[in-house]
Amino acid sequence: MRTFHVRTFGCQMNKHDSERIAGLLSAQGMRPAEDPRDADVIVFNTCCVREHADERLHGQVSALKSLKAGGRPGVLIAVGGCVGQRDGERLLGRLPHVDVVFGTHNVARLPALLASAAEARGPVVEVLDAPDPGGFTSDLPDAREHVWHAWVPITVGCDNFCSYCIVPHVRGRERSRPLPEIVAQVERLAADGVREITLLGQNVNSYGRDLYGDPAFARVLREVAATGVPRVRFTTSHPKDLSEETVEAMVETPQVCRHLHLPVQSGSDRILAAMNRRYTRRDYLALVERLYDAMPDLALSTDVIVGFPGETEPDFADTLRVVDTARYDQAFTFIYSPREGTPAARLEGRVPREVAQERFDRLVEAVGTSALAKNVPYVGTVQEVLVEGSSKRDASMLVGRTGTNKVVHAPIEGHGAEELAGTFLDVEVQEAQTWFLLGRVRARREPASGVARA
Ligand code: SAH
Ligand code: SF4
Ligand code: F3S
């Protein structure tokens, strides 16, 4: 039987696309291979949001050259995703041993493209400017990484054009998926044993603007929760579009996890304007205050970029102040990386690498302090934890997450971790670290907010 291996870079949208790629290839009678060197088809699902991801792809694809040269000429290498979309044919100039180049809009065509490449004995490139208007590709078969978790895209693309960001250029304009389609998929998933779904979009808060009747994101939350799926997460929320209605839907819908990813990017109004984020520090902090008022137990995470062109020490000090005030549980921190074709790449005032690195280090420290402060009050509480499996470092410990997205470790005691994966446990938290909690299993249970209600 022929085998495939999918290597994924980038965001959750790409992880989900990779599950669909795996589903499509499995439907062709192929089987997944753990090691790319054992596979007949190797697919790279790529990201170009920062330079680093771009470079890693180059290294990894080049490393496979010897595989084809040495005894396995029939191996097919396909590169898709955001680099495929951006570079198309040009990619073959840099990586001539690639057989198939595809983009973000034609994942469904991959099996056909692989077949043409095998037949043509030469590279095949297909990149579309826009998605096929007929179909939301999420209806393709998928092979989920975990049986108990599913990604559910509700929008694709992005209309925001933040000045540093390549995503709108490689994912196209924002399109919303019809609500009945989303609900029907979640019903199927819940019936299939999925315990947690993550609704996906570059900006889920602008959901529905292109649909008849403008169904708002708050309605998606309520209707999806009504299917009875025990846990609902969503990402990403653009602060300028997070409505009061959405806050109310979060408060009133117990299945919706008390965790919000709310990228701030910078705390300086000058830099926020240059980034085209369309909110001020005051707007952002007022929203955060409203969220904590409505949900005192809310966990908040964010994305921050340091070293944006023109960023001064006072601008960065503003960012640090926001980190303090917003009391983040987690932050994804990035050094600005110029992306060709985006407006910010043409801006003056590049911040020297050492200065950006030094700010980055201070930011990471501030985030750690904030994260630990948010974890300490968990000690002594009992948390509902959805088990993911056993710890990679210590097989006698299980790993799971609270609704607030805290990683929890606890000794397994009795059951195998694989058997427990996808079940809910009550865990008493005994110790708080910066990035995880340690505890003891108290009981196994169905979630109070879960399927039992439906
Ligand atoms: N749609 C999401 C995710 C976008 S990409 C959102 O709006 O939040 C994920 C993160 O990568 C962004 O939030 C941003 O912090 C970071 N990022 C994007 N472009 C970048 C660039 N050119 N340099 C550094 N970080 C970048
Ligand atoms: Fe990029 Fe901004 Fe769109 Fe997020 S909202 S994908 S950062 S353009
Ligand atoms: Fe990267 Fe594309 Fe996602 S550029 S962050 S994989 S949309």
- pLDDT over threshold 60, residue 19: yes
φ, ψ at 297 (rounded to 5°)? -95, 10
The confidence score (pLDDT) of residue 357 equals: 98
Q: Choose which residue among 51, 334, 357, 359 to substitute to test ligand 1 binding: the one with the highest number of ligand atoms within 8 A of its C-beta.
A: 334
The confidence score (pLDDT) of residue 138 equals: 56
The stretch 380-392 carries a mean pLDDT of: 95
Ligand 3 closest atom vs CA 171: 7
Q: To the nearest 10°, report the CA torsion of 233, 403, 384, 219.
A: -50
Distances (CA, A) of 333 to 278, 359, 361, 368: 20, 11, 10, 12
- pLDDT over threshold 50, residue 440: yes
The confidence score (pLDDT) of residue 449 equals: 46
- pLDDT over threshold 90, residue 33: yes
Rounded to two decimals, the pTM is 0.95
pLDDT digits (tens, 9 = 90+) for 353-379: 999 999 999 999 999 999 999 999 999
Per-residue pLDDT band at 277 (split at 50, 70, 90): very high
The confidence score (pLDDT) of residue 419 equals: 84
The confidence score (pLDDT) of residue 140 equals: 67
The confidence score (pLDDT) of residue 418 equals: 79
> DSSP class of residue 121?
T
The confidence score (pLDDT) of residue 454 equals: 27
The confidence score (pLDDT) of residue 62 equals: 87
On average, the pLDDT of the chain sits at 93
The confidence score (pLDDT) of residue 135 equals: 55
The confidence score (pLDDT) of residue 67 equals: 81
Residue closest to 451 by CA, chosen among 369, 366, 386, 359: 386
Per-residue pLDDT band at 133 (split at 50, 70, 90): low
The stretch 251-269 carries a mean pLDDT of: 98
Ligand 2 closest atom vs CA 277: 2
- pLDDT over threshold 70, residue 208: yes
The stretch 203-224 carries a mean pLDDT of: 95
Residue closest to 36 by CA, chosen among 8, 11, 17, 1: 8
pLDDT digits (tens, 9 = 90+) for 280-318: 999 999 999 999 999 999 999 999 999 999 999 999 999
Contact predicate 220/255, CB 8 Å: no
Q: With pLDDT > 90 as the criterion, what percentage of the chain qualifies? A: 83
| DSSP state letters, 230-282 | SEEEEE---GGG--HHHHHHHHH-TTB-SEEE---B-S-HHHHHHTT----HH
Amino acid at site 329:
D
The verdict on the CB of residue 161 being under 6 Å from ligand 2 is: yes
Q: Using only the alpha carbons of the chain, give its radius of gyration.
A: 23
Q: Choose which residue among 166, 167, 242, 277 to substitute to test ligand 2 binding: the one with the highest number of ligand atoms within 8 A of its C-beta.
A: 167
How many angstroms is it from 417 CA to the middle of ligand 3? 32
Q: Which ligand is nearest to the CA of 47?
A: 3
How many angstroms is it from 146 CA to the middle of ligand 1? 26
- pLDDT over threshold 60, residue 452: no
The confidence score (pLDDT) of residue 338 equals: 97
* Residues 192, 197, 198: CA angle, nearest 5 degrees: 150
The confidence score (pLDDT) of residue 136 equals: 60
The verdict on the CB of residue 10 being under 6 Å from ligand 3 is: yes
- pLDDT over threshold 60, residue 323: yes
